[in-house]
C-alpha cells in the first residue's frame, strides 16, 4: 500500500534525514529506520485527519494525535520497545520541523511513550568465553575458515568490537597494531588496545587465507572470497555453544558484553570501559557490564575521599 504523504512532507522528511546523516553522522541503517518510523507516522496522520497535513500544522499536533497513532501501532502488533523507538524518531522529526516552521511543538514532544522492561545483557562467564574461542572453529570445513572464525570472535571478546566493526576492518589493518582505530556507530572513532592473542589469531588467519588480501578489500572473507557475512559467525558460534552446552544467549554480541563485564570485574574503570566500547552514555555502559549494587559500592568505597 502506498503511503499517503504530500510532496511537502516527503521533502521535509528527506531534508531532515540528510541533515542527520551529514551533520550528525547517523549510520545508513539508522536513517532507514528513522525514515520508516516517520513516514508511517505521517501516513497514519493523513488517514486519521482526512488528508495530508501541512508542515505548519504538523508542528502543532496535540498529545491526542500522538496517542491515537501509538494506539494504532500497538493495535497492529508493534511491541512496546519498537513503539518507543518509533516515538523517539517522530519526536526528533517534529522538533526539527518546529524549529524551521516557527511553531510550538511542546504538546506533541511531551507525549509519553510506552513503558517496557529493558533486557539486560547476558555476558558469558570467563571460562565459557575462553572455551568459545577454542571451540568456534572446531568443525569448520577448512583450516583457514577455522582460523577466520577464531580471529573474529577473538576480536569481539579481546577488543570489545561489535561484529559489524570487526567485519568492516580492511585487509590493510593486518598485522594489527598495538592500538586499533575503530569507526563505530554514528561515525565516532575510538582507539582500542589490541591484545597479543588477537594479533596472533588474525596473523594465523592471514597466513592461511587462500585469497589475496588487497589492502583496500575486507580483511575477513567468505568461502568464495567475498565479504564475510555476520550470519556465518553467528552460525559458527551457534554450533560451538551447542557442543559446549552454553545457552542461546551466547551470541557474537554477548562476547562484547563479556569483554566489558570481565574488565570491570578485574578492577577496570567504568569510564575507561565506556571509552573502549564507544558508548556516549555512562548509563549504557553500566547496563552493558552487568554492574550490580555490590560492585558499585566497592568502587565507591575505594574512590570516595570520605569513605
Q: Which residues are catalytic?
A: 162, 185, 253, 256, 279, 288
User: In the beta sheet, which residues pair with residue 181?
Assistant: 191
CA-CA distance, 15 to 104, in Å (whole number)? 20
CA-CA distance, 98 to 56, in Å (whole number)? 8
CA-CA distance, 242 to 45, in Å (whole number)? 48
Nearest residue to 100 via CA among 26, 190, 13, 6 = 13
CA dihedral 8, 14, 18, 24 (to 10 degrees): 90
Nearest residue to 166 via CA among 153, 147, 179 = 153
CA-CA distance, 142 to 144, in Å (whole number)? 5
Give the CA count within 13 Å in the CB-facing half-sphere of 164.
7
- Identify whether the C-beta of residue 135 lies closer than 8 Å to the C-beta of residue 97: no
Compute how many other C-beta atoms are within 10 angstroms of the C-beta atom of residue 29: 10
Amino acid at each position: 500500500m502506498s503511503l499517503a504523504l504530500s510532496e511537502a512532507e516527503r521533502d521535509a522528511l528527506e531534508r531532515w534525514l540528510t541533515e542527520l546523516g551529514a551533520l550528525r553522522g547517523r549510520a545508513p541503517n539508522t536513517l532507514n529506520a528513522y525514515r520508516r518510523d516517520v513516514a508511517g507516522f505521517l501516513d497514519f496522520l493523513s488517514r486519521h485527519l482526512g488528508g495530508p497535513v501541512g508542515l505548519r500544522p504538523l508542528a502543532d499536533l496535540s498529545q491526542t494525535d500522538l496517542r491515537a497513532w501509538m494506539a494504532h501501532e500497538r493495535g497492529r502488533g508493534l511491541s512496546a520497545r519498537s513503539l518507543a523507538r518509533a516515538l523517539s524518531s517522530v519526536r526528533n522529526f517534529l522538533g526539527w520541523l518546529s524549529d524551521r516552521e516557527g511553531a510550538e511543538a511542546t504538546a506533541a514532544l511531551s507525549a509519553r511513550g510506552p513503558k517496557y522492561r529493558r533486557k539486560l545483557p547476558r555476558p558469558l562467564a570467563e571460562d565459557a568465553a575462553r572455551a568459545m574461542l577454542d571451540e568456534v572453529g572446531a568443525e569448520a570445513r577448512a583450516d583457514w575458515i577455522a582460523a577466520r572464525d577464531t580471529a573474529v570472535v577473538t576480536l569481539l571478546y579481546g577488543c570489545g568490537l561489535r561484529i559489524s566493526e570487526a567485519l568492516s576492518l580492511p585487509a590493510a589493518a593486518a598485522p594489527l597494531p598495538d592500538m586499533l582505530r575503530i569507526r563505530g556507530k554514528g561515525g565516532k572513532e575510538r582507539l582500542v588496545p589490541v591484545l597479543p592473542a588477537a594479533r596472533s589469531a588474525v596473523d594465523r588467519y592471514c597466513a592461511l587465507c587462500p585469497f589475496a588480501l588487497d589492502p583496500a578489500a575486507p580483511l575477513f572473507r567468505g568461502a568464495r572470497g567475498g565479504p564475510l557475512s555476520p550470519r556465518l559467525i553467528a552460525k559458527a558460534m551457534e554450533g560451538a555453544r551447542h557442543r559446549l552446552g552454553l545457552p542461546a544467549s551466547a551470541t557474537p554480541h554477548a562476547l562484547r558484553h563479556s569483554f566489558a563485564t570481565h574488565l570491570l570485574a578485574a578492577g577496570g574503570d567504568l569510564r575507561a570501559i565506556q571509552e573502549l566500547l564507544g558508548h556516549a552514555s555512562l548509563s549504557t555502559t553500566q547496563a552493558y557490564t552487568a554492574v550490580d549494587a555490590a560492585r558499585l559500592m566497592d568502587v565507591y568505597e575505594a574512590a570516595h575521599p570520605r569513605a
